[in-house]
Structure formats: C-alpha cells, structure tokens
Amino acid sequence: MRLGLLTEGARPYASGAAASWCERLVRGLGQHEFDIYALGGGRRREAGVRPALPPQVRRVRTAPPWTAGDAGLPYGRRARRRFAECYGELVGAVCAGAGAAGEGPDASGDLADRFGSALYALAELAREEDGLAGALRSDIAVRALERACRAPRALCTAREARVTDLLTVTAHLEHALRPLSLDWYGDDALGAADLCHATTGGPPALCGLLARHFHGVPLLVTEFDVHLRTHYLTSGPGTAAPAVRAVLAAFHGRLAAEVYRAAELLTSGDAHARRWQERCGADRARIRTVYPGAEAERFGEADASTVPADAYTLVWAGSVDPAEDLVSLLHAFAEVRREEPKARLRIVGTPSGAEGAAYAGHCRALAARLFPGEPEGDRPVSFEEIGPSEETRVSDAYAAGAVVVRSGHAEGFPAGLVEAMLTGRATVSADAGAVAEVIGGTGLVVPPRDPRALAQACVALLRDPERRVRLGAAARARALELFTVERTVTAFHGLYLEIVSRCPVRRSAPDEPRPFATPAETFVPGHWTGPTAPAPPRGVPAWAARTPSRATRPSAEETR
C-alpha cells in the first residue's frame, strides 16, 4: 500500500511531540510505502539537515509556508472574473450569519456546501493557472472580503471591520490557503497514493481534501491537539481586533467542518481530544481513539518493588515551560518538607526556548527564597538539564526516585506520565487533559493549581511504601497494555486496511494495481458468472457444439 503522509513542521516528520510519533509509525509499518509531504520544512532543508530515513520512505517533499510565491496577478480577464466569483463565494460563506442561508435545520448545511464548493473551485483554478498566491492577496480579494463583511446578513462583528482588519484577514487567509497552489496533486504525487494520512488538522488536512477531490484518494485525519480548539485558545481578546477574530474563527470552523465531513475516519489521541472533535462537528461514528505509543524497551525490565536510591525523593521530568506549573510544585514541596524533613525534589528537564529559559530562572530564584540559608549544592531542590540525545537518563531519574510528580495544567496527551508508569513508579498528577484517562486508578490525581492537595498526596505516598509498590506495578501493567508503540502501529495498520478496502482508488491506467478492487476473473471475456451452458452430445467436441453448423447458419439471402 502506498501512503501519503501529510505533516506540518520540521522535516521530517513533524514538529514537537508529533515528530517522534510519526517516526515510530513509519518505522513500524515496513510493509507499506510512504511518501512524506511536509509543510514548513524549508529551513532545515536549506541548512543541509538530512535525517536518516527508513527504506520504506520513497521520497520527501517539503513546502515552506512562509514563502508567498508569485508576487503579481498575471491572470487574464476571464481568470480574474472567475477568481473573484469563487473567492467571493468562499468569504461570503465564512462571513454569513445565522440567517444568511435561510431559516430551518438545513441552514448551516447550505453554508457548508457553499464553502466546500468555493474551496474546490479555487483549487481547480489554482491548478489551471499555476497558483493563487498573487490573487489571494490582491485588491480583488480585499474587495470581495469587504463585500462579504458588509452584506445584509453578515456576522454582526464582521460588519465593524476596518480597512486594517480587512488587510489582516486577507493576509491570514492567503497563508491558510497556500496549499491550494502546491504541485502535490498530480498523478505522480498524491494522486498515486492509496490513502492520505494527515497527522494534524489545518493545512495538512487541506492537502488531503484536495487529493480526495482531484483523484478520489481517501483521507484519514489524526488530531492529538484539535486544530480548531488550538485556534480558539491562541486567538484571545488581546491578540487581534474583534472583527478579525470573528472572521478567522468562522473560517477555521468552516474548514474543520469540511475536513470532518470528507475524511473517511478521524483518530484522536485521547478521549479529551475526541470530545473536542465531536463538539467541533465531527461524526461520532467515524472517530477512533488511538493512543500515541511509548517505547517500552527504553525502560528495560523496571520493577516497582525495586528500592529507589532515595525513598524520600520526588522526581519531576519534562520540558521546562510555564504550562508545567513548577511554581505550584515548589510551593507544594515546601509543605512536604514541613511534614517530611528528609524529602528532596529533583527537577530534571531542559528549558523550551527563550520563554522556558526565563521561567527556569524564575523557578531557581523561587527555590532559593523558599529554602534559604543552605548552600546551593545542599538545597533540597535540585535542577538538572538533559539534552535531546540523553533520553535514557530520564528513565534513570524516574527509577531513582520514590514518587514521580506531574504538576502541569497543559491539556495534551501526557507522554511523560506514560514513561513514568513504564518505569514502575507511583505517580501524583494534576488533573488536566487526559491525565485521569491515562492513570486509570493506578496513581493519585489532584486538582490543578492546588499546591496543598499536591503536597498531601505526595506525603501520603512517601509514608506508605507498600502502597507505592502496588500503584507502581499496576501503572506499569496498564502502560504495557495500552500505551506501547506496537499497539499504536497495529491500530493504524488496521485502520489503513479498513479504509482502503472500503474506498479503493480507481486508477485510469489498466495495469495499475488496485488493492481490494474487483477480482481478476471479471476481466475475462464472456459471462463467467452466468448460467452454465448445456453439455454437448456424446461424441461431439465442445468447440463444435459452440459453433453453429452449416444447416443452422442463416444464409446470405436470409440476412438481407
């Protein structure tokens, strides 16, 4: 099977946590062929970074999204008119209010149909005119957006858009619609795939929509962080004008609805993301939950009954970031020290960017204020950094402690918590995102941003070693059962077969292989499934029985 893997971020496979997940998926499915299409990999390509790829990866194509493409609008009059009509229909469906499509239960469906039809019409125009980048930021696009915002039944907030707001929205839409201008949709690219797998919503899923539109390639969309939810969270009141936020939220909502409607199946990384997909309009019957797996072999044969190096040590490990809420952890540990003076806290992690480095400095200063009068080397709180090439030390840090603590309030999948469970250590976690779903009763869960509850849970486990052993053993057994790479790869392999068997791609070339297509017997001339012909008389050959005799053949005079 040939798979088109659509990613976004670094090349390959993606950025952040999705990078390791994509790599594990590709390396685990050696029986398939992968063509990787990465949006935003140009910088690493220019730097000469060429990561080693497994043999099942046939090729990698990248498209840096920060390049604007053609600068002008070299279209003819007919193409300009066509673009104005299609783009006007698109932004009209985006800016339309609740009553723009009429009243009744089908009003929202009419707007969705208008948006989808206009989107595919723009894609066809981009294919014919070799791109739309110049048109999407032209005066034609700005005037079309202005007419849509000033329409009688447009969104109330959109009617207040000023010229600067219109220019901001136009620039954002041009960036979001750049996949329309890519050359990825030919017969030698995504058109040759048996299945497109978008590893996130947004632009990668838009590429999958176009492959489905032009060639009928089925689409599978995986979302660990729901794209529409991410847009809502990052576009707060202080980020842009109300009109800009209203129009962009409507655009991303329409795009997400079209992706959810066209995708054969959707997968979520946990039940929390699944609920968001359903809230954003996805059909519950077409959603599957597939957890991102962890490499259990990196943690060896850890045993929860193994005595840690220090039975009074709490361990936190991860990427130092404000979302991890280390401030609450430090205040909670101050209360733990008052109950258990022997307790120590190890913070193991690397700051994420400039913001993470500033936050790490703030946490060090806070630790110095909370535990004054002691030399830095003898303080009960230690800060350790780990580079990306020393991941095995994280498991060593988990194994050396008695209790693993997770204090963050980020709502993504807690991959670090799964690693702690594989180590066989008892955990105390703040309830955020999929934490309760992952823990499943094998650890203690406390409210987020509650230092007192976090401290009480840690003290309870430090004082009860038998309970720590039971919880650690149960946690490792649960992680091995649900959160391994092998289980994830097997799940996606089954989904690939399910989709392709149900939606085979019909090739135009007769000699092109068709997985799960019609049997070979159907290409044999004649009615091979028809009724059986009567047996010839005894002594008469079969060919003579099939050939009419001279006596039974019509004469030339009879055929006139």
pLDDT tens, residue by residue, 428-472: 999 988 899 999 989 999 999 999 999 999 999 999 999 999 999
Closest alpha carbon to 183 in 119, 130, 259: 130
pLDDT exceeds 90 at position 280: no
Residues 266, 221 contacting (CB under 8 angstroms)? yes
Give the mean model confidence (pLDDT) for residues 17-44: 80
The tens digit of pLDDT for each residue in 31-63 reads 999 999 988 754 444 444 556 788 999 988 888
Please give the biggest Cα pair distance in the chain: 123
DSSP string, 174-216: HHHTGGGG-S--STTTGGG-SEEEESSSSHHHHHHHHHHHHH-
At 32, the amino acid letter reads H
For 57, the 3-state DSSP assignment is: strand
pLDDT exceeds 90 at position 95: yes
Angle (deg, nearest 10), helices 242-262 and 227-234:
170
Give the mean model confidence (pLDDT) for residues 156-168: 93
Residue 554: the pLDDT is 43
For 528, the 3-state DSSP assignment is: coil
CA-to-CA separations, 522 to 227, 285, 518, 526, 530, in angstroms, rounded: 44, 34, 7, 9, 12
Closest alpha carbon to 485 in 222, 292, 220: 292
| Residues in Cβ contact with 375 at an 8 Å cutoff, skipping those fewer than 6 apart | none
Cα separation, 530 vs 63, whole angstroms: 53
| Average pLDDT, rounded, for the chain | 83
| Residues in Cβ contact with 426 at an 8 Å cutoff, skipping those fewer than 6 apart | 304, 402, 403, 404, 443, 444, 461, 467, 468, 469, 471, 472, 475
| Residues in Cβ contact with 531 at an 8 Å cutoff, skipping those fewer than 6 apart | none
Cα separation, 108 vs 310, whole angstroms: 61
pLDDT exceeds 80 at position 283: yes
**Three-state SS annotation for 329-370:** HHHHHHHHHHHCCCCEEEEEEEECHHHHHHHHHHHHHHHHHH
Residue 101: the pLDDT is 45
Cα separation, 247 vs 244, whole angstroms: 5
Give the DSSP H/E element, type plus range, for residue 288: strand 287-289
Is the previous residue joined to 13 through a cis bond, with omega within 30 degrees of 0? yes
Give the other-Cβ count within 10 Å of 7's Cβ: 27
pLDDT exceeds 60 at position 67: no
pLDDT exceeds 60 at position 189: yes
The dihedrals phi and psi of 474, each to the nearest 5 degrees, come to: -65, -40
Residue 513: the pLDDT is 57
Residues 168, 142 contacting (CB under 8 angstroms)? no
447: which 2 tokens? 């409210």
- Residue ranges in 47-137 assigned as alpha helix (H): 77-95, 107-129, 133-136
Q: Partners of 445 in the beta sheet?
A: 429
Tell the residue number behind the tokens 């997940």, with chain if given.
21
Please state which of the ranges 143-147, 201-205, 408-412, 457-461 shows the lowest mean pLDDT: 408-412
Query: Which of the four pLDDT bands, split at 50, 70 and 90, describes residue 242?
Result: very high
Cα separation, 294 vs 360, whole angstroms: 27
pLDDT exceeds 50 at position 307: yes
Please state which of the ranges 44-53, 97-106, 144-153 shows the lowest mean pLDDT: 97-106
Cα separation, 24 vs 488, whole angstroms: 9
Angle (deg, nearest 10), helices 415-423 and 392-400:
60
Give the mean model confidence (pLDDT) for residues 524-538: 57
pLDDT exceeds 50 at position 550: no
Burial of 261 (0-12, 13-18, 19+ CB in 10 A): middle
Q: Partners of 268 in the beta sheet?
A: 223, 289
Tell the residue number behind the tokens 């609740």, with chain if given.
98
Residue 435: the pLDDT is 92
Residue 408: the pLDDT is 86
